Amino acid sequence: MVVRSRAPLRLSFAGGGTDVAPFPETEGGAVLSATIDRYAYGSLTPRTDQRISVHSLDLGMSLDFDARAEPSFDGRLDLVKAAIRRLGGDSSGFDLLLRSSAPPGSGLGSSSTMLVALVGLLREHHRLPLTDYEVAELAYQAERVDLRIRGGHQDHYAATFGGFNFIEFGERVIVNPLRVKDSVVDELQLNLLLCWTGTTRQSARIIEDQTARLTGGELETLAGLRAQKELAVAMKSALLRGELSEFGSLLGEAWKQKKRMSPLIATDVIEEAYDVAMRAGALGGKVTGAGGGGYILFYCDFARKHRLAEALTRMGGVVTDVAFERRGLTTWRA
């Protein structure tokens, strides 16, 4: 029987970076995020010849190896190998087919979300009694510990749990689901706009620079991280109260504070798009991930949103609307 999985990508509104060591261990981190209707997909078909085959449609890359062998990390679909090594189970073998709605480096958490989809597939295939917290942590461990890819916790937990969440990071991770009114969600997604900058980025390099600055005692980086945490709290409050104009303005403040964390976060293309958007009527905006490229999220009243879209398109941006997804990781058998 074929096993399928789907995990949603996320938008991070504020707090990004406070989930990256060593900040959460020393001060406690907090992130406000929501999942959207873009996904990482996986399909697993059992086989009986003790072989594992993997095909990534996004990367145009395939692998085939012995299910009884320890997979080696050689730069070819290592995320998949890390998940299999963590949850290999029996050695009967299977075929994996993987696809994502966004490329790596988009700022939507695509790589971490794919790992969550993979862990979900293997949990369902091996019928493992794993909780959502355990799924998210296994995906985190595979990416950050086994592969030593720099980054935080938020993407794995957002993709696993789904919906609007205020996620706290410290000695342990606590996911606080937010009961946002349907009318507020409808209005928010009507007033949000995503703009693709045309370039992806290597988040690990930016996060490495941010971490080095923090451990080196750079006060500007520390101040930016502390402000991100405070803004996550303030934006959560505005969202729950339905004060979306305040939410939009705070989104812009989150971008201002984010840039204090590393000079690699902002680029000329991002700054130009931001200036164009503000002149066209946006209340605020920020990059959706570590920075350096990917998507920029803008908040703009619906009456002006078409002008914002036209202005960003003229400068070469690719704009799309936002639709939220309340469900997290989903698996089923077909």
SS (H, E, C) 257-303: HHCCCCCCCCCHHHHHHHHHHHHCCCCEEEECCCCCCCEEEEECCHH
Beta-carbon contacts of residue 218 (< 8 Å; ≥ 6 apart): none
Which among 242, 251, 245, 247 is positioned nearest to 184, based on CA atoms? 242
| CA–CA separation, 203 and 207 (whole Å) | 6
| CA–CA separation, 95 and 208 (whole Å) | 35
Which among 207, 221, 193, 189 is positioned nearest to 285, based on CA atoms? 193
Question: Which pair of structure tokens corresponds to residue 47?
Answer: 């086989």
**CA 327 to centroid of chain Cα atoms:** 15
CA angle 178, 41, 15 (to 5 degrees): 35
Catalytic member of 19, 90, 95, 155: 155
CA angle 276, 282, 284 (to 5 degrees): 100
CA angle 196, 198, 203 (to 5 degrees): 85
227-253 burial, b at 16+ Cβ within 10 Å, e below that, comes to bbbbbbebbbebbeeeebebbbbbbbb
Q: Phi-psi bin for 74: left (phi > 0), alpha (psi -120 to 50), beta?
A: alpha
Q: Which contiguous run of DSSP H or E holds residue 65? A: strand 61-66
Which among 81, 100, 208 is positioned nearest to 142, based on CA atoms? 81
The amino acid at residue 235 is: M
Q: Is 268 a catalytic residue?
A: no
Question: Which pair of structure tokens corresponds to residue 232?
Answer: 């996550």
Catalytically active residues are 155
